[in-house]
Structure formats: structure tokens, C-alpha cells
Structure 1
């Protein structure tokens, strides 16, 4: 089987894709329905990304990076905060007075989180883990994203083993809901 990017490169690619969606939102005027479509796509991408990180990245950080438990706990707290904002966004249309405020909050939180991961966590992980392990983690993250939920579930477990057991089933339900509603098809 051909291998893809290592876990760090994979997650950085995700970060750039989310930033591109943020830019698309920022380029549209307030109230434009396209902002909601992009916000739904951002949510789908961020939830899949977060679930994969929680299942594979953060356990590796805890195990291999000195001080990794504190790093992982801080990242999980960031995820929880972003997930609550995404849950609130889910029920807002682009012309809702709360939409712009929630979107600005989400963008700020995610941009800070990305900077933190890319400047602090990823270099420490690369230093602590051999290339083969990072490559294996990349494969696991890619697989996890395929079956991960696409909607925020703020009360779902965020640590193994419960998150690994529940995420595929929740993901299946989310993808069925997305297919029935057309969510994520128009960007």
C-alpha cells in the first residue's frame, strides 16, 4: 500500500484547507447565504480533523512528548471550546445576528489553535517520534477522518477508547443526515 503524508503534514494540509474556507467566508458580505454553506463545510472539516487528532495525535503526544499530557489537555480544551461554538453555529443562518459573532469567535479560536499546534506541538512531536511512527499516525488519521462525525457533538467522549468506539457510528448517522439535507454539497 502506498503511504500518504506523515501525521504532521496531513494535519497541516487540513489547517490550510480550513483557512481557505475561512477566507471564502470573509470575502462574502454579511448575511450572504454562501457564508452558511462555507460555515457548514468548515464545521464538517474541523469535526473530522478534531476526531482524528483526539483518537491518534493526542494519545501519541501524551506517550512520546515530554510534558505531552499538559499539551494534549490544552489542545483538547481548545477542541471543546470550538465544538461548542460550532454547535451554536449549526442552528444559525447567515442572516442571523449571532452568525457573524459566532463565526468570528470560531475563526479566532481555530487560528490560535493552529498556530499553537504548528509552532509548539508539531515540532516537539517530530523531535520525539521516528519518521515511521509519524507516517503510521498519518495513515491512522486519514482512516479516522473517513468515518468520523461531520457535526459537532460537544458531549461525546474525546479520549480513547470511548471516542474510537463511538465515532464511526456517530459519523455514519451524521453523513446520512448530511446526505438527506444536502449539507456540504454546495461549496
Structure 2
């Protein structure tokens, strides 16, 4: 959840961790109950990651990159689509055929988003943003992920300042629910 380094290194490491979870899902047979466990873990990581990007990465993209508003808006649209898929996935068990469709859609959406960020957005940000600002953003992203929600909330605000104000309270409730239900933990 917190790896160190600048914002690009932090978020790239998150991408690798989620891809590792996706690999665990793909390695299991359809209907295996552990697919739901891993889908919940992926969702928890993706939601924290998205909240941190929306709070700090995309405002930096808007500020430092020419055409940054359009880039940030596209990334936020990607998040909204993935968040709705995660919300739909939340209520489906691994044995349900709908689970396979939704988890497949989520993996496809996230993989395309990651490729776009790593090949397009991150290089532009690295070229346009001072190194000390990237390091500061890395610290802010790490702090945000610690208090961010862990469940999808598609109707929640996705732009500062409102998202920064609401995320800690929603995150606390989500983490309490996760602790009480054992969500994301093996039986």
C-alpha cells in the first residue's frame, strides 16, 4: 500500500500488485471461491489507488501538462467505468456466471488504463513536473491510500476539493465494514 519513491514509482508499483492479483484470479478455475477473495482484494487496492490518483495525480496533470485537463478527464472517465464494474462485482459470487463476465471486464478495463497511464501520462508528467514535486506527490498519495475508501462508491465526487474532504470518513466506514465481514481475508 505504501512503497516509497515519487508518485510515478508509487503508482506503477500499485499497478504491478494489482496485475499480480489478476494473475491469481486467472490461475483459478471458474467458480473457485478464492476468485471472489482475490477480486475483493483487487477492488480494495484499486479503489484506494483511484482515490489517491483523483486527489493528487490528476490535479498535477492539469497543472503541469499541456492539454492536461483532457488527459485527466479521460483518466477519471476510465475510473468511473471501472468503479461501476467493481460495484456490480461486489454483489456477485464466484460461482455465478456473471462473476466471470464482470471480472473479465474489470481486468480488461484496468489493463487498458494502466497501459495508457504508463505509456502516455506518466512520461509526460515526468518530463513536465519537477522531481521534488513528484516526490511530494508520492508522499501525499501514500498518505491518502492509508485512509481512502476500500469499496467502490460510483456516485462519490471524483475531483478536489470535495473528494479530499469525504474520502477519509468513507474510508473509515469501509475499513470497519471490511474488518467486521472479513472482506479480502482468507477464511
Fold shared, TM-score > 0.5 on shorter chain:
yes
Instruction: Write the distance in 2 (CA, Å) between the matches of 1:4 and 1:132.
Output: 14
- Corresponding position of 2:185: 185
Instruction: Write the distance in 2 (CA, Å) between the matches of 1:186 and 1:58.
Output: 34
Instruction: Write the distance in 2 (CA, Å) between the matches of 1:60 and 1:129.
Output: 8
Instruction: Write the distance in 2 (CA, Å) between the matches of 1:111 and 1:6.
Output: 22
- Corresponding position of 1:106: 106
Matches within 5 A, 1:1-187: 4-186=4-186
Over aligned residue pairs, what C-alpha RMSD do you find?
1.1
Q: Which 5+ residue runs of structure 1 have no aligned equivalent?
A: none
Instruction: Write the distance in 1 (CA, Å) between the matches of 2:173 and 2:184.
Output: 15
The one-character-per-residue Cα deviations of 1:148-168 (angstroms, maximum 9, x if unpaired) are: 000000000000000000000
Aligned length: 185
Instruction: Write the distance in 2 (CA, Å) between the matches of 1:126 and 1:46.
Output: 22
Shift of 1:97: 1.4
Shift of 1:35: 0.1
Instruction: Write the distance in 1 (CA, Å) between the matches of 2:162 and 2:80.
Output: 16
SS in 1 for 2:14: helix
Shift of 1:39: 0.1
Instruction: Write the distance in 1 (CA, Å) between the matches of 2:50 and 2:58.
Output: 10
TM-score calculated relative to the size of structure 2: 0.98
Instruction: Write the distance in 2 (CA, Å) between the matches of 1:184 and 1:35.
Output: 11
Shift of 1:4: 2.6
Instruction: Write the distance in 1 (CA, Å) between the matches of 2:157 and 2:186.
Output: 30
Spell out structure 1 runs of 4+ moving beyond 6 A. none
